[in-house]
C-alpha cells in the first residue's frame, strides 16, 4: 500500500493532517510474521565452500496460530448477541436480518484474528442504496439496507482521538475493477457534534488519481447522529511501542523472539532428517554399468542383490561402508515444547497452553483450575470486544430506526460469550438449575443465559410449556 500517497490524499481532500508515528512500520512487520515468512529471518544463506546457496527455513506459522486461537476463544458459534426489543432483534438476528445478509459472525471472527495479528481492526456501518441531496442529507431509502465493511490495521487512519478512543477516522478499501486497482477512501468526521461521512475514489495509476464515484456511493452523507458508524477492535493490551497511538498492539508483538526460536528448532528438526539420511559408500569395483554406460548399485531399480565379482578377492577395503548418523529427535521435541511454553506465556494463554501430548485429554474444568491466566486474559479481552460489538449494534439500529423506518424503541444490547471454553458448560448448567429450584434464579433468566433468548421470548416459551 502506498502510504505516503494516501496520507497526502487525506490531507488534500479531507483536511486530515496525519503524520506517521511509527505504527505503519510495526504493522508491516507484524504482517510478515502473521503470514509466516519474514524475509530477513526465514531466508537462509549458506556457503558450502564452493558457492553461496539459499533456502527457505521450515516454519510452524505460530504467529497465525496464536491469532486464530484467540479469535476462536473469544468469538465462536456459541456467542450470542441478545437484544431486549423483539423487533430490533428480528432486524439484526432474524432469518433475513442484517447479520445474516452481511455474514457478520463469520466476518467478525476473521476480523478478531486480524486485529490480534496487526493490533487493530474495524467494522464500518454503511447505508447502501440511499439517495442523498447535494448537501448530503438522506432523502430516499426505499431500497436501502445496512452494510458492514471490514478493515484491518493497514487500512485504518485515526484522525482524532481521546485516550484510546478514536473519535474520527479514515478507512481505505482497495478493489480491482476491470483489471484496474481502485482505492476508496472514506472519512468519518465530526461537524457540529454530528458525524458526516465523506467518500472519495482514486485510481492507483500514476500514484493516486481521483476518479468519479460509482452512482451508488454518495460523496457526502450526513448521519445526523453523534454515534460513530465505526467500531475499533483491538487486544486489551497497552501499546508500549507507540504509546501516543490509539491503535492497538499485536498480541505476539513481545513474542517475536520466541517465535524465531520455535522456527529455529523446528527447522533444525527437519534438517536433522534431511542431513541424517542413511548413506552407503561403495567402491566403483562393486558397481555395474547399464546399456547407456551409467553406473548402478546392485539393489538399484529392483536389480538382484547378488553381483558376480569375478576372481577378485573380497577384503575389508571392498566392503560397503554405512553412514548412520544419530538423529536427535527427542532433544529437538523437548526444545520445541519449551519454546511453546514461552510462547503461551507471552501471548496470554498461560504457561502450557500448547501441549503436543495426546496421551491424555484436558477438560475445560481442568483448564480453568490449572490455568487461571487464560481465564483472566479471556475476560480482559472480552471487555473491549463487547464494547466494539455493542457500538456496531447501536450504529446499525440507528440506521434501521432513523433512516430506514424500523419500528423499535430503546434496546438493551447484551453479548453472551462462550464460557464453556474456560468453564465446564454442563457443570454451570447443573449449578444454575439448582439455583432455579431454590428460586434464587428465575427460569426465564436461565433460558436467557444459556439459550441466548431475550426476556420476552424466554417468558413466552415458559408460559407455552406450562399451559401447553
Domain annotation covers residue 172: yes
Domain annotation covers residue 334: no
Domain annotation covers residue 140: yes
Mean pLDDT of 227-237: 95
pLDDT tens, residue by residue, 190-211 = 999 999 999 999 988 777 888 8
> Residue 304's domain spans which residues?
279-323
Whether residue 14 sits in one domain with residue 70: yes
Whether residue 192 sits in one domain with residue 127: yes
Q: Tell me which range, 41-45, 272-276, 376-380, is most confidently predicted by mean pLDDT.
A: 376-380
Give residue 308's pLDDT.
46
Whether residue 283 sits in one domain with residue 164: no
pTM of the model: 0.81
Over the range 49-82, which residues count as b (16 or more CB within 10 Å of their CB) and which as e?
Answer: eeeeeeeebbbbbbbbbbbbbbbebbbeeebbbb
Q: Has residue 255 got a pLDDT over 80?
A: yes
Give residue 423's pLDDT.
60
Asked whether the beta carbons of 37 and 242 are under 8 A apart, the reply is no
CA 143 to chain centroid: 33
Mean pLDDT of 168-181: 88
Cβ neighbours around 226 below 10 Å, total: 11
- At 166, give phi and psi (nearest 5°): -80, 125
Distance CA 209, CA 382 (A): 41
62-74 helix and 104-118 helix, angle to the nearest 10 degrees: 130
Domain annotation covers residue 365: no
Whether residue 290 sits in one domain with residue 179: no
Whether residue 170 sits in one domain with residue 113: yes
Comparing CA positions, the residue from 180, 177, 174, 185 lying closest to residue 205 is: 180
Domain annotation covers residue 241: yes
Distance CA 175, CA 182 (A): 5
Distance CA 406, CA 274 (A): 65
Whether residue 131 sits in one domain with residue 177: yes
Domain annotation covers residue 294: yes
pLDDT tens, residue by residue, 95-134 = 889 999 999 999 999 999 999 999 999 999 999 888 888 8
Looking at 423, 441, 458, which one is the last position of a domain? 423
Q: Tell me which range, 83-87, 360-364, 426-430, is most confidently predicted by mean pLDDT.
A: 83-87
Instruction: Give the chain's domain count.
Output: 2
pLDDT tens, residue by residue, 418-446 = 876 666 666 778 888 888 888 888 888 88
Domain annotation covers residue 231: yes
What percent of the chain has a predicted confidence (pLDDT) above 90?
Answer: 41
Q: Has residue 296 got a pLDDT over 70?
A: no
Domain annotation covers residue 264: no
Q: Has residue 299 got a pLDDT over 70?
A: no
Whether residue 309 sits in one domain with residue 200: no
| C-alpha to C-alpha distances, 442 to 123, 298, 438, 454, nearest whole angstrom | 36, 83, 9, 14
Q: Tell me which range, 73-82, 354-363, 375-384, is most confidently predicted by mean pLDDT.
A: 375-384
Give residue 459's pLDDT.
86
Whether residue 145 sits in one domain with residue 56: yes
Beta strands per DSSP E along 165-224: 165-177, 180-191, 194-203, 209-211, 220-222
Amino acid at each position: 500500500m502506498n502510504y505516503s500517497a494516501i496520507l497526502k490524499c487525506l490531507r488534500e481532500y479531507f483536511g486530515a493532517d496525519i503524520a506517521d508515528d511509527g505504527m505503519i512500520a510495526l504493522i508491516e512487520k507484524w504482517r510478515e510474521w502473521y503470514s509466516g515468512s519474514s524475509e530477513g529471518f526465514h531466508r537462509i544463506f549458506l556457503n558450502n565452500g564452493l558457492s553461496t546457496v539459499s533456502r527457505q527455513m521450515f516454519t510452524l506459522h505460530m504467529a497465525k496460530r496464536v491469532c486464530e486461537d484467540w479469535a476462536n476463544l473469544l468469538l465462536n458459534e456459541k456467542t450470542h448477541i441478545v437484544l431486549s426489543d423483539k423487533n430490533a432483534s428480528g432486524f439484526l438476528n432474524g432469518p433475513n436480518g442484517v447479520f445474516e445478509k452481511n455474514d457478520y459472525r463469520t466476518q467478525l471472527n476473521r476480523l478478531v484474528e486480524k486485529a490480534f495479528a496487526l493490533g487493530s481492526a474495524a467494522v464500518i456501518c454503511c447505508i447502501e442504496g440511499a439517495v442523498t441531496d447535494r448537501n448530503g442529507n438522506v432523502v430516499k431509502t426505499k431500497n436501502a439496507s445496512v452494510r458492514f465493511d471490514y478493515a484491518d490495521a493497514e487500512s485504518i487512519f485515526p484522525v482524532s482521538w481521546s485516550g484510546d478512543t478514536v473519535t474520527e477516522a479514515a478507512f481505505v478499501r482497495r478493489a480491482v475493477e476491470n483489471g484496474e486497482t481502485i482505492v476508496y477512501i472514506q472519512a468519518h468526521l465530526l461537524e457540529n457534534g454530528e458525524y458526516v461521512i465523506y467518500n472519495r475514489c482514486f485510481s492507483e495509476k500514476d500514484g493516486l488519481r481521483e476518479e468519479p464515484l460509482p452512482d451508488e456511493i454518495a460523496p457526502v452523507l450526513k448521519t445526523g447522529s453523534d454515534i460513530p458508524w465505526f467500531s475499533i477492535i483491538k487486544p486489551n493490551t497497552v501499546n508500549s511501542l507507540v504509546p501516543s497511538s490509539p491503535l492497538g498492539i499485536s498480541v505476539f508483538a513481545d513474542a517475536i523472539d520466541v517465535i524465531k526460536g520455535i522456527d529455529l528448532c523446528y527447522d533444525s528438526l527437519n534438517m536433522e532428517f534431511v542431513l541424517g539420511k542413511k548413506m552407503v559408500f561403495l567402491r566403483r569395483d562393486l558397481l555395474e554399468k547399464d546399456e547407456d554406460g551409467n553406473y548402478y548399485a546392485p539393489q538399484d531399480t529392483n536389480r538382484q542383490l547378488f553381483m558376480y565379482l569375478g576372481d577378485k578377492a573380497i577384503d575389508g577395503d571392498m566392503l560397503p561402508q554405512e553412514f548412520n548418523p544419530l538423529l536427535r529427535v527427542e532433544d529437538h521435541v523437548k526444545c520445541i515444547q519449551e519454546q511453546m511454553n514461552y510462547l503461551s506465556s507471552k501471548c496470554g494463554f498461560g504457561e502450557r497452553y500448547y501441549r503436543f501430548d495426546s496421551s491424555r485429554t484436558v477438560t475445560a474444568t481442568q483448564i480453568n483450575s490449572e490455568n487461571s491466566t487464560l481465564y483472566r486474559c479471556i475476560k480482559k479481552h472480552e471487555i473491549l470486544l463487547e464494547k466494539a460489538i455493542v457500538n456496531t449494534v447501536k450504529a446499525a439500529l440507528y440506521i434501521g430506526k432513523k433512516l430506514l423506518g424500523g419500528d423499535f424503541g430503546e434496546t438493551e444490547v447484551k453479548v453472551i460469550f462462550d464460557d464453556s471454553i474456560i468453564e465446564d458448560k454442563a457443570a454451570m448448567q447443573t449449578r444454575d438449575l439448582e439455583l432455579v429450584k431454590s428460586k434464587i434464579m428465575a427460569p426465564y433468566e436461565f433460558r436467557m443465559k444459556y439459550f441466548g433468548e431475550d426476556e420476552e421470548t424466554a417468558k413466552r416459551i415458559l408460559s407455552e410449556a406450562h399451559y401447553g
